[in-house]
Amino acid sequence: MLTRETMTGPWAGLPVAWTDTDQFDEAIYRGDIARCCKAGMPGIYTGGTTGEFYAMEMDEFRAVARATVEEAHAGGKPVMIGVSSTYTLGACRRAAYAAEIGADAVQVTLPFWMEVADKEVTPFFREVSRASGGLPLSIYETRRCKKSLTLDQHRAIKDAVPGYIMVKANESTLGSTPLGCAQLSEFTNVFVGENLWGPLGPHGARGGCSSVVYWNPSFILPLWQEAEQRNWAAVNVGCAKLQALFEFLETFSPKGFTDSAFDRLGGVASGFLKTSLRCRGPYPSPTQEDVKILRQWYREKFPEMLET
């Protein structure tokens, strides 16, 4: 079973491959998982925002989750399945299925359509954990849920769910700050964006639900090794390059791209991912022209990101 000691590093948070007719392209998706395993990524993750959990029916969730577990385990890697939903029973059903097919961990965010009352926060995570049979639990904390958890709430969840071993901290949440990261790291692992490994690594950050690791693992995996060795000068050099990349990607924001579009674009432009560019509507998808633009930027500004 995964523990705080073993659940570290850049876990690959993969997008789902869709065909031109909006069907699950299982062969392409499995191929991307196999490449991630072969590259040596610490773990495989799907069912977050990049994995478009919000745009799947239950039968599609089952198909994607099963393919993820089977292919990653065949490659010798642990799997975390995102089980988020707009209501408790929906998340519990997904968590139970993840356990049934042999997932190694589940990740869940608070239901996000209506804000969850403070008194319901801990019971929600307890119910999802029970439905998973007590699998290691990761909290996907994002302001899209209309709430930032306090340190006391995180501690209450840990008391109620001992298997709570990781939080994916996003902008404007507790773990994205040096103090909050240090406080949370006393009892759970904090995963942050790759560009924050330098600033937050000294305060306890232990990895990330990463997209950039499959943009090019030959850049990100050595960068993580530097972080593990606490070579912060080298880490900060890499983080500065990533920050410049993220700032360039903002030039695509007028197109209305969300997480999955950016992550497909980054991985396809580098040459590592073979997934489709298609996002499920109504959310816009990147185009081949966008890929050409980013690939040219890679060549000129960040050649280490290109697959060789």
Mean pLDDT, the chain, whole residue set: 97
pLDDT confidence bin for 101, thresholds 50/70/90: very high
pLDDT at position 276 is 97
Residue 267 inside a domain? The answer is no
Q: Is residue 265 assigned to a domain?
A: no
E strands along 122-163, which residues?
Answer: 137-141
165-182 residue pLDDT tens: 999 999 999 999 999 999
Beta bridge partners of 205: 190
Mean pLDDT of the region 111-129: 97
Q: Determine contact, residues 200/178, Cβ cutoff 8 Å.
A: yes
Q: Are 131 and 114 in contact (CB under 8 A)?
A: no
> Percent of the chain having pLDDT more than 70?
100
Question: Is 176 a member of any domain?
Answer: yes
CB-facing half-sphere around the CA of 131: CA atoms within 13 A: 22
pLDDT at 5: 97
Q: What is the pLDDT of residue 41?
A: 97
Is the per-residue pLDDT at 183 higher than 90? yes
Rounded distance, CA 27 to CA 86, Å? Answer: 29
Return the closest-CA partner of residue 138 out of 117, 159, 113, 169.
169
Q: Name the CA radius of gyration of the chain, rounded.
A: 18
Q: Which are the contacts of 116, defined by CB distance < 8 A and separation ≥ 6? A: 110, 124, 145, 147
> Is the pLDDT confidence value at 113 over 90?
yes
CATH number for the domain spanning 101: value is: 3.20.20.70
* Segments forming the whole domain that contains residue 130: 9-226
**pLDDT given at position 201:** 97
pLDDT digits (tens, 9 = 90+) for 68-77: 999 999 999 9
DSSP character at residue 144? G
Arithmetic mean of pLDDT, 201-220: 97
Which residue do the tokens 């899209």 mark?
A: 144
Tokens read off for 144: 């899209």
Query: Mean pLDDT over residues 80-104, rounded?
Result: 98
Structural domain includes residue 240: no
Please state, in angstroms and as integers, the Cα–Cα distance from residue 197 to each residue in 91, 187, 234, 237, 290, following that order. Answer: 30, 19, 11, 11, 28
17 within some domain: yes
For residue 52, the model assigns a pLDDT of 98
List Cβ neighbours of 119 (8 Å cut-off, separation of 6 or more): none
Residue 276 lies in a domain: no
Q: pLDDT tens for residues 260-279?
A: 999 999 999 999 999 999 99
pTM of the predicted protein model: 0.96
Residue 308 has pLDDT above 90, yes or no: no
What is the structure's pLDDT at 307?
82
Q: Is the pLDDT of residue 286 over 90?
A: yes
Domain total in the chain: 1
Q: Say if 98 falls within a structural domain.
A: yes
How far, in Å, CA of 252 to CA of 74, rounded? 36
Q: At 271, phi and psi to the nearest 5?
A: 100, -5
Confidence of residue 125 (pLDDT cuts 50, 70, 90): very high
User: Could you tell me where the beta strands, DSSP code E, fall in the chain?
Assistant: 9-13, 44-46, 79-82, 105-108, 137-141, 164-169, 189-191, 205-210
Q: Decide if 151 is inside a domain.
A: yes
